[in-house]
Amino acid sequence: MNIFIINGGQTFAHSGGMFNNTLTGWTVEVMKRKNFAYRVTNINDNFDPMMEVENFKWADIVIYHTPIWWFQLPNRFKRYLDEVFTAGHNNGIYRNDGRSRKNPDVNYGTGGLMQGKRYMLTTSWNAPQTAFTLEGEFFDRHTVDEVLFGFHKMNQFVGMKRIEGFHFHDLEKNATEERIDCYHQEYTAHINEVII
């Protein structure tokens, strides 16, 4: 099994990307124990879009680790995806949007070239989990995956299937050592279950 891990924890302002560095390390530990081949990209590093396309083509599973900034991906992670997926046009990521000129109203989003590949998303939030689950709280009981609908559609567009992700909450105001240790155990159990 070939696993491509993308660390989207951008270093910017008060964010050092520290938790996503830790999370990437946890993921690498599991891949080593499973004897899976893996590659890691950190979006803070300079990158060659064509070489990154090769990582996507090589992978059986792509694992995205990202903090959420202003309810979206960090800007450098978005730039990375824009440049890499553009370089992947007719180069292993997607062929076109899937439609034909004869009937342009149907089949949008079916031109991906990554069928048979899977992806998993992890996110880290300042928002507590209750902001998503409690009536009257900020996200109006919408799930993380509903908030990140566009991200999931992007992966579907290129042909990948989703593996159930894992989401980390309240990491700015309540990132105690005990909570991080608990998250480590829960995440390790999750990834051992879903990455097979």
Beta strands per DSSP E along the chain = 2-7, 37-42, 61-67, 118-124, 161-168
Q: In what order do the strands lie in the sheet with 118-124?
A: 37-42, 2-7, 61-67, 118-124, 161-168
Predicted confidence at residue 188, as pLDDT, reads: 97
pLDDT at 33 > cutoff 80: yes
pLDDT at 16 > cutoff 80: no
Q: Which two tokens stand for residue 12?
A: 């910017």
Q: Which two tokens stand for residue 80?
A: 């990375």
Say which residue the tokens 């290129």 belong to: 158
Contact between residue 22 and residue 65 where contact means Cβ atoms under 8 Å apart: no
Average of per-residue pLDDT across 137-157 = 96
What letter does residue 36 receive in the DSSP assignment? Answer: -
pLDDT at 11 > cutoff 90: no
pLDDT at 14 > cutoff 70: no
List 146's β-bridge partners, or say none.
none
pLDDT tens sequence across 89-129? 999 999 999 999 999 999 999 999 999 999 999 999 999 99
Q: How far apart are CA 157 and CA 143, in angstroms?
A: 21
- Residues of the chain with pLDDT > 90: what percent? 92
What CATH architecture is 2-194? 3-Layer(aba) Sandwich (3.40)
pLDDT at 17 > cutoff 70: no
pLDDT at 139 > cutoff 80: yes
Contact between residue 64 and residue 31 where contact means Cβ atoms under 8 Å apart: no
